[in-house]
Amino acid sequence: MKLIRLISCTALSLSLFGCGQSSGPSISSVTTPAQPASAPAAVVAAPRAIGLVMKTLTNPFFIEMEKGARRAEKDLGIALTVKTAAQETSIEQQIQLVNDLIAAKVEAIVIAPGDSVSLIPALKKAADAGIKIINIDNRLDPDALKQIGLSGVPFLGVDNEAGAYKAGQFLASKISTPTQAVILEGIRSADNARQRMEGARRALSENKQVKLVASETANWKIDEAYAVSKTLFTKHPDVKLLFAANDMMALGASKYLQESGKLNVKVVGFDALSEALTEIKAGRIAATIDQQAAEQGYQGVAMALRLVTGESVSPVTLIETRLITAADLK
C-alpha cells in the first residue's frame, strides 16, 4: 500500500468519494399509479469538469501521472481534460493551456507547473473566474502567490529536499577516501529542482571525504544531460559520484559514461522511471527515488473534486518518497 503523509490536520481520504458499498436498492411492495406519458424525465447532472495541465509527455514520469489521473476520472465519475506542453521548458505553452481551460469553463485546474512563478498570473485569472486551483509536483512560489493575491492554493507532492537527501546519503555512504562528486540540476526556476539540488548537496557535504566539484543544470533533459556530462567529465575526469535531479538526466549521464568507458561512476537519479529501473537492474545506475507519479495524478484529481463540491482540503499534502536500489528490484 502506498503511503501518504498529510501535512495538516485534514486527511486526504478517498472514502469521501463513495468507497463504501450499499446492500443494493430497497424494494417497496406498494403499488403506485403509472405516471402519465407526458411526465418529464429526470435530469441527470453532468459530470464535474476538471482540467489537468502537465509539463510534457516526453518524460515517462508524466505519462504515469496521467495514468493515475485517468484512473481517478473513472473511479470518481468526473470529466477530465488533460493538456500538456511540448517540453518541460515550454512555459509559455503551459500558460496558454491554462487560458484554454479557462475558456472551456472547467471547474478546477490541477497543474504541475514547469516554473514556480511564471504560471501564477494565468492561474490568478483562472481563480478570478471561479476555477479551483490545485498545485501538484512542483510547488508554486508562496511569496509570489501572496503578492498577486492568490492565496489558499493547496499543494500535493513530495518533500523533494528530503528525497534528494536520501539519494545523496546513498551516494556518499561507504566513501572513506577523497572522492569528487557532481550534480545535474533541473530547471533552476522550478522549486522542486532547487530543493533536490539542496538536499543532495546537504547529504554529500556531511561526508568530509566527498568534494562537490560542480553543479550544473541540464534542464531535466536526457540529451542535455549527455552533453553537460561530457563537459563536466572532461573538466573533472576523476569524478566518481553523480546525482541527477531526475531520471531523464541520470539516463543521459549514464549513456555518456558507458560510451566513454567511465564505468566506475556511481549515478543516482530521481523519479523511478521504468527505464531507470531497467538500468539499475543492469548495474549502470545505482539508485533512484520513487515519488509515486501516478499517485500524485490520482490524488490531485481527487482533491480537485473535493474542492468543487465544497469540501475543505489540506493546504499541504506530501506523498512519501523511497530510495530504490538493485536490492529492491530482485
Cα(232)–Cα(234) distance, integer angstroms:
5
For the whole model, what pTM was predicted?
0.82
CATH of the domain at 62: 3.40.50.2300
Residue 254 and residue 229: Cα distance in Å, rounded?
Answer: 9
User: Is 22 within the bounds of a domain?
Assistant: no
In a domain, 67, yes or no: yes
How many angstroms separate the Cα of 2 from the Cα of each of 45, 65, 110, 119, 313? 33, 15, 21, 30, 20
pLDDT at 6: 36
**Residues 175, 72: one domain?**
no
CB 277 within 8 A of CB 258: no
Check whether residue 175 and residue 149 sit in a common domain: no
93 shares its domain with 127: yes
Domains held by the chain: number? 2
Same domain, 153 and 297: yes
By the 8 A CB rule, do 226 and 259 touch?
no
HEC per residue, 176-209: CCCEEEEEEECCCCCHHHHHHHHHHHHHHHCCCC
Q: What is the pLDDT along the chain (330 residues), one digit of tens a residue?
A: 333 343 443 433 333 333 333 333 332 333 333 344 444 555 557 899 999 999 999 899 999 999 999 999 999 999 999 999 998 999 999 999 999 999 999 999 999 999 999 999 999 999 999 999 999 999 999 999 999 999 899 999 999 999 999 999 999 999 999 999 999 999 999 999 999 999 999 999 999 999 999 999 999 999 999 999 999 999 999 999 999 999 999 999 999 999 999 999 999 999 999 999 999 999 999 999 999 999 999 999 999 999 999 999 999 999 999 999 999 998
144 lies in the same domain as 186: no
Domain encompassing residue 165: 160-290
Residue ranges of alpha helices (H) inside 77-206 are 91-103, 120-128, 142-148, 160-172, 191-205
- Cell numbers found for residue 319: 506523498
Note whether residue 13 is domain-resident: no
Q: How many whole angstroms separate alpha carbon 187 and alpha carbon 105?
A: 31
User: Does residue 172 fall inside a structural domain?
Assistant: yes
Same domain for 257 and 218? yes
Same domain assignment for residues 108 and 210: no
pLDDT at 44: 58
Q: Which cell numbers in the block locate residue 322?
A: 523511497
Residue 286 lies in a domain: yes
Question: Do 132 and 243 reside in the same domain of the chain?
Answer: no
- Which pLDDT does position 43 carry in this prediction? 52
